[in-house]
Structure 1
Amino acid sequence: MVPILLLLTLASVDAERDAPLPERAYAEVVSELESRRHAFSTRWHQPGAERMALRDEARATVLDAITRHLMPAWYGTPWEFYGDSQTPRTGSIACGYFVSTVLRDAGFRVERTQMAQQHAEYIVKALAPPKKIWRFRNRPVSGVVDRVRRAGEGLYVVGLDYHVGFLWNDSARVWMCHASYLGEATVVCEDALTSPAMVSRYHVVGKLLENRMMDAWLEGQVLPVFIPPGQEPTD
């Protein structure tokens, strides 16, 4: 039997050109990806496993699933400040919930609600290694996009003054994929250079799917939220 991920037509990054996947297909994609995660995990724990190559293979699988299947399924879902839908095109979703829900559905063990309600800076810190986090103050959007281009093809998370979303460098263009509160106020994937939501005094960008994040995916480990020093819970 051919895996469902291979049967689905690749979704366009342009929400206006291609319709999102139906709800049933989305659930199947999530289920199939979880099955593939378990298969990767089994290989990961085998004696003599070539872990570097296996991690790279898993990274490519996750990147394809997120950018070609999971995110496009959400295109057109209405944005609302308190939106917390878990089903594409049903109800509404806020920007933080879009990020945490897509990551959860990609197989990452994240605290969906807690992460979604955090400041964007903390979301970035929870997901990206310190050396792959870049901050920009009072810089033009072109400078931010150029840095992502130079960092290479892949998926990033971007935090702004009052917003958070994904940046996707597909090697040809950098896309801003987010639950937009502007314009039609829906989930979109648009050119980051011209996205109105990218206009911000502050940008913090972190590269996703780096080794720690992928190791957590392979081992089924939780990616804890970032807790600022001094705010740790006490018994």
Structure 2
Amino acid sequence: MKRFLLTILATAGIVCAVCWHFRDSLPAAWRKVAEPMVTKPTPDAARYAELKEEAQRRRRDLSAKYAKARTKEEKDRVMAETRGYLETLLPAMMRCWLGTTWDFHGTADTPGQGKIACGYFVATVLRDAGFEVDRYKLAQQASQNIIRTFLPSEAMTLRVGVPYENFASEVAGAEPGIRIVGLDSHVAFLVTGPDGFHFIHSSGCKPWCVVDEGRDDAEALRRSNYRVHGLLTSDRTVLLRWLKAEKIAVKETSTATASAKRR
């Protein structure tokens, strides 16, 4: 009996030691085990179509208000209303895609109807929200060029080799809004607000679809060594281009180079 108890204690000690050694990776490992048990959300193509139509109506209304504004204060109020609307519209459109299957070559035009790559997800949502941009050219660019298509270089934040928790805390405490974020080989949206941030993207790993992930679940964001992002909805030029339906020229890189930097 004594030998039996000693054996149990020794085994328990080994298990504890192993758990302690792998303590940092256990949460991620458990998430990978649990993922198959999670039911994928159903893409909502009908709601997406409604939002596209609504975006066109609101853009016309806000554009007319801006044209009638005579003072700086009046124009600023329209700008604030435009920003508030886009910060509601864009996440709603992104979430209509949840559950849509990822594919490296995916170019789906509608949630749930086909497969979609990460770059095409970002480009399609922006186009359908009312930004006049060639989604094919935009989707094929390196992530930094996707951001630079909308924002100047000085409006971008680059972090290389920064521990994930440091980066996550910085973003969670940053100005609320809609960001595009580029990683080692990926591009996505970061939606920041009072509750931290949401990493919304077409995921090239489990569960292989468009997902909305919080700080603790954003494994692609966690693993990346390179992170560059820019806040779209705080930029007055971006807002004016949307209001006026201005054509936005894509900052181009060769397709081969861009493909090597995205998944």
TM-score (norm 1): 0.84
Contact kept? 2:97, 2:210, Cα under 8 Å: yes
Contact 1:142 1:193 in 2 (8 A): no
Larger Rg: 2
- Cα separation, 2, equivalents of 1:54 and 1:160: 33
- The corresponding residue for 1:214 is 239
Q: Does 1:201 align with 2:225?
A: yes
Shift in Å, 1:132 = 2.6
1:121-147 Cα shifts (integer Å, max 9, x gaps): 111111233333111111112222222
Is 1:28 matched up with 2:50?
Answer: yes
How far apart are residue 45 of structure 1 and its match?
A: 1.0
Q: Aligned-pair distance for 1:47?
A: 4.8
CA 1:195–1:154 in 2, change beyond 3 Å: closer, same or farther? same
Aligned match for 2:194, one of 165, 171, 180? 171
Amino acid paired to 2:248? L
Tell me how far apart the structure 1 counterparts of residues 230 and 240 of structure 2 sit (CA, whole Å): 17
User: What does residue 44 of structure 1 align with?
Assistant: 66
Does the alignment pair 1:133 with 2:151?
Answer: no
The 8 Å contact of residues 213 and 223 in structure 1, kept in 2 or not, is answered as no
2:44 and 2:97 in contact (8 A); partners too = no
Identity fraction in percent: 32
Aligned residues: 212
**Unmatched segments (≥5 aa) in structure 2:** 1-37, 254-263
AA matched with 1:45: A
Question: Structure 1 stretches (4+) deviating beyond 3 angstroms?
Answer: 16-22
Query: Which residue number in structure 2 is paired with residue 91 of structure 1?
Result: 114
Q: How does 1:5-154 map to 2 (within 5 A)?
A: 19-20=41-42, 22-48=44-70, 50-67=74-91, 69-154=92-177
Q: Give 2:261's aligned residue.
A: none
Instruction: Report which of the two has the higher share of helix.
Output: 2
User: Is 1:225 paired with 2:254?
Assistant: no
CA contact (8 A) 2:40 2:99 kept: no
Q: Secondary structure of the residue that 2:100 maps to in structure 1?
A: coil
**Is the 1:145–1:193 contact (alpha carbons within 8 Å) kept by the matching residues of 2?**
no
